[in-house]
């Protein structure tokens, strides 16, 4: 029976909420106190059952838990026939337990999803030179594997032969495919978008970068044991102290009513209610503003953050490459645009798509004799003219001469973190196009607000090149910037900050960010990021709205302060009531319970203020 009741805690909480609402409706709308009392009593009896069972189970192993505190508070309310208070106490406690359990379940599922994303098979070369499909577990270090277009790279390895473009977003978080050729390194879990590669396995299974991501998430989650709530620590000493104190008073005074009065007044109902009310109100405010806060521990820890580490792509930046700068060298701009768009329209490469999008609607001309140069660009014939569109290496290969002015422009564009696309017609340079991932609009102002809230260090980590990362850092006024960072590098950097005593939050959106999200004191995921990143995190910014981050930080600080205020009010009132029993002539159970009820109303109203919280600009 105990196991059945404990398995139905969520359903019991729902039934309790319905009964409480019905009780207030009966009292104020129907003016029927009898029905209201029956509803509150039923809610109390149903709600206290799982709590009392947990208190009993804890006592069996000599642990005085918060469940015992709640049980005493409810029985105390029953003794003075205040069924309304007992009903509310049991519901809020069960609802808080539901929120905590829901967060734990989601966190556990992150490991499962990561595992499901890992490659399952590979094409392995046999001794006779043929390739056969085998389970990835059958691949050993030194084996030669064949990877075709669209397939996942099964191991960490080195390219032996072939060329292609690999989407490494699952490892580096960067959206642009990376060109691979002989002697290039490849990572398990990444996707070959085009081309065919033969690779030799350098690391397999759990030793791969992707395997390490899974391992890092597991380790980080294990290291993040739940901080013991203040009320649990308080109850461990306070609850038995009140019980012992009431017994001592009875032994010396032989006054049963006085002992019961001390026991009832000593049960801090406002303490039990105050913190959940602050939590629920804070979480409710966050939800209404597009911020998901996963529990009270998250709120308290987030409010103490002094360092925020950001992933770059998809977090500080939009995550899609766009044309940021264009230098025209053509006398006929419209002709040049038509030629370039005609050729780039033949390609699915992200840089080509960015160029076509920027040029807009133009006349597309027939493209002939197209030659795609992997890792370089495209050489083709348009209207009888030889047209080359690609990077500087391709221009040099095709003999396109660059003037001193063009070379200066190339250096300037590269220094600003751009990927270069150059266009030439009949050997003459026509345009230089700088493409980069753009900073999210409004991020500068949002970071200024974060600094005002007391965050001292703002750091960006990225798998992108250092020049691009430095440009973003300069543009946003960040404290530090580090490029060429793999997932384990990011996690190691976060751990280093933690070891130095910083309270660290990490903001990211990709699978590659999940180890750092889990390892940091607070992991913050963009809502459009991967499910793994979202479920590993403690805070989610829905719709990937970066402007919600300052609100989330300010809200957690306000909520943490509100919790402390409610705790101070609750404890202060209890101490006042207990002292008044002995040092005043006017204190009795009726007056004490009136003050007691007043304190509950005060902490509830104080907590509800959070529903109206808005970050001051």
Encoding tokens for residue 244?
């012992």
> What angle, rounded to 10 degrees, do the helices at 33-60 and 9-28 form?
150
DSSP code of residue 205: G
Q: How far apart are the first and last CA of the chain?
A: 55
Q: Which residue has the tokens 């792509």?
A: 313
Check if the beta carbon of residue 352 is closer than 8 Å to that of residue 370: no
Return the ∠ at Cα 128 (arms to 124 and 133), rounded to 5°: 25
Residue 467 host element (H or E): helix 466-476
Coil, helix or strand at residue 102: helix
Backbone angles phi, psi at 543, to 5 degrees: 60, 15
- Of residues 67, 143, 311, 446, which has the active-site annotation? 311
Q: How far apart are CA 539 and CA 542, in angstroms?
A: 9
Q: How far is CA 256 from CA 23, 263, 577, 586, 591, in A?
A: 32, 10, 18, 19, 18
For 93, the token pair is 């406690």
202 is catalytic: no
Q: Which residues contact 136 (CB under 8 A, 6 or more apart)?
A: 118, 119, 120, 121, 122, 154, 155, 204, 205
Distance CA 584, CA 181 (A): 87
Alpha helix (H) ranges present in 366-465? 392-397, 404-415, 443-452
User: Which of 103, 216, 113 is CA-nearest to residue 494?
Assistant: 216
Beta bridge partners of 459: 309, 480
Q: Please state, in angstroms and rounded to a whole number, the distance separating the CA atoms of residues 506 and 461.
A: 10
Whether 159 and 201 have beta carbons less than 8 Å apart is answered as no
Could you tell me the two tokens for 459? 């750091």
Helix (H) or strand (E) holding 540: strand 539-541
Which positions are annotated as active-site residues?
Answer: 311
């Amino acid at each position: 029976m105990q196991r059945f009741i404990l398995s139905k805690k969520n359903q019991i909480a729902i039934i309790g909420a319905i009964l409480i609402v019905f009780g207030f409706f009966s009292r104020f709308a129907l003016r029927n106190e009898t029905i209201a009392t029956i509803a509150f009593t039923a809610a109390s009896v149903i709600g206290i059952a799982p709590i009392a069972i947990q208190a009993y189970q804890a006592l069996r192993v000599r642990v005085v838990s918060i469940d015992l505190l709640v049980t005493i508070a409810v029985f105390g309310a029953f003794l003075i026939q205040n069924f309304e208070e007992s009903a509310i106490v049991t519901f809020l406690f069960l609802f808080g337990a539901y929120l905590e359990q829901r967060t734990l379940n989601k966190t556990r599922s992150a490991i499962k999803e990561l595992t499901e994303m890992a490659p399952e098979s590979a094409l392995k070369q046999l001794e006779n030179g043929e390739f056969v499909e085998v389970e990835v577990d059958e691949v050993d270090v030194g084996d030669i594997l064949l990877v075709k277009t669209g397939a996942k790279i099964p191991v960490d390895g080195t390219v032996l032969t072939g060329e292609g473009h690999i989407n490494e977003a699952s490892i580096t978080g960067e959206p642009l495919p990376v060109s691979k050729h002989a002697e290039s390194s490849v990572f398990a879990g990444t996707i070959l978008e085009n081309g065919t590669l033969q690779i030799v396995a350098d690391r397999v299974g759990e030793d791969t970068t992707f395997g390490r991501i899974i391992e890092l998430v597991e380790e980080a989650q294990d290291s993040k044991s739940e901080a013991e709530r203040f009320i649990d620590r308080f109850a461990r000493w306070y609850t038995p102290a009140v019980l012992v104190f009431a017994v001592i008073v009875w032994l010396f005074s032989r006054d049963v009513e006085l002992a019961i009065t001390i026991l009832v007044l000593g049960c801090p109902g406002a303490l039990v209610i105050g913190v959940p009310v602050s939590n629920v109100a804070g979480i409710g405010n966050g939800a209404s503003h597009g911020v998901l806060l996963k529990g009270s521990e998250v709120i308290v820890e987030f409010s103490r953050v002094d360092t925020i580490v950001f992933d770059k792509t998809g977090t500080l930046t939009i995550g899609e490459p766009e044309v940021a700068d264009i230098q025209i060298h053509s006398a006929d701009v419209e002709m040049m645009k038509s030629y370039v768009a005609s050729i780039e329209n033949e390609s699915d490469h992200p840089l080509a798509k960015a160029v076509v999008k920027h040029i807009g609607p133009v006349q597309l001309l027939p493209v002939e004799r197209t030659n795609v140069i992997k890792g370089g660009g495209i050489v083709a014939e348009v209207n009888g003219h030889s047209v080359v569109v690609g990077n500087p290496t391709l221009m040099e290969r095709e003999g396109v001469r660059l003037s001193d002015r063009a070379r200066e422009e190339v250096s300037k564009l590269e220094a600003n973190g751009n990927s270069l696309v150059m266009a030439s017609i009949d050997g003459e340079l026509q345009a230089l196009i700088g493409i980069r991932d753009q900073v999210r609009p409004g991020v500068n102002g949002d970071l200024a607000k974060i600094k005002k809230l007391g965050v001292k260090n703002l750091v960006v980590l990225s798998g992108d090149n250092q020049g691009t990362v430095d440009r973003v850092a300069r543009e946003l006024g960040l404290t530090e910037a580090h490029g060429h960072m793999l997932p384990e590098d990011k996690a190691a950097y976060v751990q280093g900050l933690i070891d130095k005593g910083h309270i660290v939050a990490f903001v990211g959106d990709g699978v590659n960010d999940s180890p750092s999200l889990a390892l940091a004191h607070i992991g913050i995921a963009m809502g459009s990021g991967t499910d793994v990143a979202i479920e590993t995190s403690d805070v989610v910014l829905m719709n990937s709205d970066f402007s919600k981050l300052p609100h989330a930080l300010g809200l957690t600080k306000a909520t943490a302060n509100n919790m402390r205020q409610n705790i101070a009010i609750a404890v202060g009132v209890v101490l006042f009531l207990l002292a008044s029993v002995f040092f005043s002539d006017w204190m009795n159970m009726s007056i004490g319970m009136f003050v007691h009820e007043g304190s509950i109303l005060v902490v509830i109203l104080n907590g509800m203020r959070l529903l109206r919280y808005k970050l001051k600009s």
